[in-house]
Structure 1
Amino acid sequence: MPKPHMQRILVIGTTGSGKTTLARQLGQVLGLPHAEQDAWQWGPGWQEAPLEQFRAEVDAFTAQSAWVMDGNYTKAQDISWPRADTAVWLDYPAPVVFWRLLRRTLGRMWTREELWNGNREQWSTLLASDGILRWFFRTHWQNRTRNRQKLARYPHLDVVRLRSPAQTRRWVQRLAHHTPLTSCR
């Protein structure tokens, strides 16, 4: 059973940091439902969901008493962040995230893995102006600053800032073994 202070968990971090993987693990370890905001954001054919639809999905999911949700979308932050009690921030160095993102993206392209709603990574968009790799370079450093600012606006959140994949693995192992968790900003 999850600790009372870890019932509604946001997993944030830059593109490619491993938000969804960690959020799924937390859901399994704590027995909580998991949702990925990208699945609500991207409809078939990479069509962006209407704002009202996206916000309704976030509202319905976070109205539950316990959950784990990953994503950085600000367009429904006013709904989810006040409801959360914990923010887990994957704050890894750029080279670590870039190589993880590149490996993940190329692997998905090679295997034709479906992401959400029939969407798949495509070779033709790998280096496009709106492609995932360029998005990383446009947003990684900005997101670090923005996450600090966002977290300051929500002082009720218990913040777990993880700065390396190894630190994240150790934290999840402690959580799985019900060892007391430490929180840090």
Structure 2
Amino acid sequence: MKRVLVIGPCGSGKSTLARELAPRMGLPLVHMDQLGWQAGWVETEKAELHARLAEVVARDEWLIEGNYGGTLAPRLARADTVIYLDFPIRLCLWRLAKRIITHRGRSRPDMPEGCPERFDAAFFWYVARWNSGPRVRTEANLAGYTGTLIRLRNPDALAQWRRANSLD
């Protein structure tokens, strides 16, 4: 595993897993949110996001965490492994609420400075509708993927995978 993607619904634990795996695997970690946002919750221009991502994807080794469906195809084209945290949305919403409470007013480690955690009803709605929108698009992108796909459907499956790979 030299070029790894960690994807899944918001609140599934992608960032946490990526922060754990990258140093163990000796891979440089890239958070899509750090590429996609700038201080003050200013979205990175699409052309700049794609240029920054192209630079990362061209490298020989990386672990990229995050969805950003519009950028998934070029990442999949280079990834040798995808770890898909395909967790239940109820759990993801619960974790998202917990994250907001825990980090409220502060930027999380996977976000750029100047993007303090906050409640955003539209974002909650996006996550709540994951199965009927983003999930469908993610599955379509994965349909043609020929590398190793590790689909973990719940935290117990993740724990089992960690144990099997000496990552716990």
- TM-score surpassing 0.5? yes
Contact 1:151 1:157 in 2 (8 A): no
Percent identity over paired residues: 33
1:121 to 103, 117, 130: 117
The higher radius of gyration belongs to: 1
Q: Is the 8 A contact 1:87 1:158 kept in 2?
A: yes
1:69 deviates by 0.4
Measured in 2, the distance between the counterparts of 1:161 and 1:141 equals 19
Within the candidate set 1, 8, 12, 1:13 is matched to 8
SS in 2 for 1:45: coil
Q: Distance in 1 between matches of 2:53 and 2:29?
A: 12
> Counterpart of 1:97?
92
Q: Corresponding residue for 1:173?
A: 163
CA 145–75 in structure 1, closer or farther in 2 if over 3 Å, else same: closer
Q: Is the 8 A contact 1:91 1:163 kept in 2?
A: yes
Of 37, 46, 57, which residue of structure 1 is paired with 2:52?
57
Partner residue of 1:181? none
Would the aligned equivalents of 1:14 and 1:91 in 2 still touch at CA under 8 Å? yes
Residue type matched to 1:121 in 2? Answer: E
Structure 1's unaligned 5+ residue stretches are: 1-5, 178-185
Out of 114, 124, 134, the residue aligned to residue 125 of structure 2 is: 134
TM-score where L is the length of structure 1: 0.81
- For 1:180, the equivalent position in structure 2 comes to none
Letter in 1 for 2:117: E
Q: Is the 8 A contact 2:69 2:138 kept in 1?
A: no
Partner SS state of residue 176, structure 1: coil
**Deviation string, structure 1 residues 46-101 (Cα, Å, up to 9, x no partner):** 11101121112211112111111011113322321101011111011122111111
- Structure 2: 5+ residue stretches without partners: none
CA distance in 2, matches of 1:114, 1:157: 34
Question: What RMSD, in angstroms, separates the aligned Cα atoms of the two structures?
Answer: 1.7
TM-score, length-scaled by structure 2: 0.88
- One-letter identity of the residue aligned with 1:172: R
C-alpha distance in 1 between matches for 2:106 and 2:164: 31
| TM superposition outliers: structure 1 runs of 4+ over 6 Å | none
Matched residues, number: 164
Contact 1:13 1:143 in 2 (8 A): no
After superposing the two structures, state which structure 1 stretch, 140-149 or 18-27, moved more: 140-149
